[in-house]
Structure formats: C-alpha cells, structure tokens
Structure 1
Amino acid sequence: MFNSAVYDQIPVVRATGTGGTTLSAFHDALVAVDLGFYNLVRLSSVIPPNTGVDTTGKTPVPVGQWGDRLYCVYAQQSATSPGEQAWAGIGWVRRHDGGGGLFVEHEGTSEGFVVNAIRTSLRDLVAGREDEFTAPEWAVNGAVCTDQPVCSLVVAAYETAPWVGIVR
C-alpha cells in the first residue's frame, strides 16, 4: 500500500471561468481558485517523493505576491460555441513506497474522452517500470458554453516563488 509518511500535499483545484474571449475566460477560472495574479510556470508531470495529492480543498493553494511564479501542472479547455463542452482533467499515480509519482493532464470536449485519455496515459507511463504504483486517480472539470466563451480548468499547484535577480 502507499506509504502514509507524506510530508507535503499538492492541492488540485478545479474551476470554470467565462469571459468575452477564451483568454479572459481562462483568467476568470484562475481568479476563481485564487491563482489569477501569478505567472504560471508549467511543470513536467512528476510528483516529488513523500508528497500527496489533495482534491478535498483542505490543502490551500500556495500563497505568494502579485507577479510571483506559480509552479504547477494544469489542464485547460475552452469552448466558444453555444452548446459546446469544455473538459479538463489531471490524473495521477504514486509509487507505493512513497518515492514520488506521476501526473498527466488532458483536455477535450467530453468527460469520457478526458478520463479515458488520463487512464491510457497513466497506464502507458507506468508500463514496464519496476516500481509499483497506486491505482489511477483523477480530477476533472467540465463546462458548457452558453453565450460567452468558457474555460474549464484543473490545476495542481506546487509552490510560488518570487522573482530574484531581475534588473529594475
């Protein structure tokens, strides 16, 4: 079973945003989960050792200052036509010994497509590895466009960091 000696938790949050453009809908979704004032630094999808994943909302998103870097894994999908769906999701597995894990992120126009892509990617990523992993888990979010562009967003927020050494 997964090693319960977890030292840190990565919060995974979900949101939907709307706006006059797909960019402003994306920003609206970030604001909805208190991440709208960071510079996102997208990470490859490796979970550090002794780190858990929290989708319950008990682990707050990292706190920083306006313009700080936010290291994260995220999936986002937009829809612009009335009736069109936008789905985003992040899935993960963790090593049983607590030695880390893997995230994958996928987007699409249906929940089924996104969940299937997450399952398939995770299966492929752990195939042939000597390490044993937990069963796949995932968090997905969906939205339907009505009259404005929408964005569906899922973010695994690692940490924030200030900019250091910038010439002012």
Structure 2
Amino acid sequence: MGLIRVVWGSASAPTAMASYDGALADANVHNYNLVQVSSVIPDDAAIEAVGVAPDLGPVGEQLTVVEARQTVVDGRAVAGLGWTTEPSGRGIFYETSGTDSDDVRSDLNQGLDAGQALRDGQFTDRGQKIVTAPSDTGDGEYTTAIVLAVYGESTPLV
C-alpha cells in the first residue's frame, strides 16, 4: 500500500474557515482537495508521524485523509487521532475532538478498543497524536486544531 503520514497543525483567524485553512497550512496540506475516508488502514501500510507534510504533488489534486478537527471561538481546540495495527500493517484509525485533552485521550483509547473488538486480528501496535491549540485572546477569533492521516500522495481530480 505504501506510506500513511500523520500530520498536524493549528491556527487562529477571524473566521472558522480561515482558521481551518491556516491549520491546514501549518500541516502543509492546504493546497490540496481533501477526500475523507472512514478510518481503515489497508494491509502493507506503514504509518509515520511527520508533523508537516512534504510536497505530495501538484496544487489542486486530491489527498485521501482521515481527519480529526476542532474549531472553537475564544477557547481551547483539541483534536486527536489514534491508530492500532497488526503486524501486516492492517488496522484502524480513530479520530475525535473536543476542548479537553484528557477527554480526547480517553475517547481515543475507548474508540480504538471498541474498533478492535469489532474486528478479527492481532493488534500489536498503537499510536496517537493529540494537538491542543489554546486561544486566550478573548477577541472573538476562531481557533482550529487538526490531525490528519494522509494516505500516499496526491492524485488528479480531472
């Protein structure tokens, strides 16, 4: 299958969409059209937490992602992505978000446990990334935290 990169970012801006776009820029995936999938990791996949994505192809192409995202006004945005895999590379992602990092961590662990219980297999590896983005300015700005699993490189839309 190839490489799945875990990237993350955060940003504040005067609108919710602008803060989301800024968080995508922080992770270097802002110039792609994101296509979300439901969290299943195929056989032979390798997961690498990189933080900031490298160049993944031409501007405007599509990227397949699993995305955790939280946007708030004058508060704390927390996004978390967890994963568990078998020796073959097959596995699942679980994404959640909120305003408290302990709650997000707990939700990730509970979600991964529940997902594993639904599937046959020997899940041996587990990882997670949680991003907390505080916005304490009180000026009505939006803050977004994101964590994405990016499958491979971009592909053309047309």
- Tell me the TM-score normalised to structure 2 length: 0.89
AA aligned to 1:131 is G
Identity of aligned residues (%): 30
Query: Paired residues, what number?
Result: 154
AA aligned to 1:9 is L
Q: 1:95 aligns with which of 86, 96, 118?
A: 86
Q: 1:43 to 1:62 in 2, by over 3 A?
A: farther
AA aligned to 1:141 is V
Q: How far does residue 73 in structure 1 lie from its aligned partner after superposition?
A: 0.6
AA aligned to 2:95 is E
Q: How far does residue 129 in structure 1 lie from its aligned partner after superposition?
A: 3.4
Contact persistence 2:46–2:89 (CA under 8 A): no
Give the unaligned 5+ runs of structure 1.
1-6
Q: 1:140 aligns with which of 118, 130, 141?
A: 130
Q: Distance in 1 between matches of 2:34 and 2:100?
A: 25
Which protein has the larger Cα radius of gyration, Structure 1 or Structure 2?
A: 1
Match of 1:17 in 2: 11
Q: How far does residue 63 in structure 1 lie from its aligned partner after superposition?
A: 1.2
AA aligned to 1:68 is E
Contact persistence 2:83–2:127 (CA under 8 A): yes
Give the unaligned 5+ runs of structure 2.
none
Match of 1:160 in 2: 154
Q: 1:73 aligns with which of 66, 75, 89?
A: 66
Match of 2:34 in 1: 40
Q: Distance in 1 between matches of 2:68 and 2:118?
A: 26
